[in-house]
Amino acid sequence: MAGKVWFITGASTGFGRLLAEEVLKRGDKVVATARDEGKVIDLTDRYPTDALALELDVTQKDHILAGVQDAIDGFGRIDVLVNNAGYGLIGAAEEASDEEIEKIVATNVFGTVDVTRAVLPHMRAQKSGHIVNMSSAAGVVGTAGVSIYNLTKFAVEGFSEGLALEVKPLGIRVTVIEPGPFRTDFAGRSAVFAQECIADYDSTAGKTREWLKSEDGKQKGDPQKAVEAIVQMVDADDPPLRLLLGASALNRMEAKLKLWQSEIDRHRDVTLGSDFPDGV
């Protein structure tokens, strides 16, 4: 059903930009936010009554609160929140600096939490809404060389899962999106590499660093098909809590589940043996 109001963070490039364009084409309204408003202002030129472009840095709470209020003032409601703003940090945990870690956590984790918390009072009041949190296959499967990025996306997964249980009785739905490699700017212009490289990690994090550089523009995932899948999911009567996107994400998740179940079975006696005996 068209006519929804979408609030999308990180709408200047990648999934955020394509999603904004997709929902505007079908007749929905969009609040497109970015740290540089100039990168989304063209949407208001093309869709003057349906698009609102806003400067919003998800690490700045005053930006968040002002942006949400502008959305409510402009369109009266927010039906779909898409927490898309974020980026990857490539490098081993020891290679990343304190500043690099703090910055990505502020954006990927606290940015998602703070924007969600700002929108929730409005969704509670209207007794409806859908929160879409952009995670990654890296939010469910760890990889050498992106352990800090894993940290942020695993946090988004846990937050989303708990949040979904809290808001379901209030008419609000939550879905976390888990894409594999897609032809966005993630491995190219948007990629952030740890400034320090330690030779001892050349065979682990170093290989991931080189693989990402070589794969930019060659990823199998089609971003346009991904945003179409997100729109279809939002329209569904019974949307999933998690949505994997792309064969790579699916294959990695299935391999992890198989290994995880094997480890559970192998150590079942130790696991159960850590409880008090029955009746104690």
Q: What residues act catalytically?
A: 135, 149, 153
Q: Which residues pair with 90 in a beta bridge?
A: 193
- Structure token digits, residue 253: 């998740």
Q: 114: which residues sit within 8 A by CB, 6+ positions away? A: 58, 61, 64
Residue with tokens 């043996």: 273
Nearest to 37 by CA among 10, 1, 16: 10
277: DSSP letter: P
Q: Write out the H or E segment, with its range, that includes residue 71.
A: helix 61-75
Angle at 142 between CA 112 and CA 269, to 5 degrees: 115
37 backbone dihedrals φ, ψ, rounded to 5°: -60, -30
Nearest to 138 by CA among 163, 157, 110: 157
- Structure token digits, residue 133: 């949190």
Residue with tokens 């740890």: 194
Angstrom distance (rounded) from CA 149 to CA 151: 5
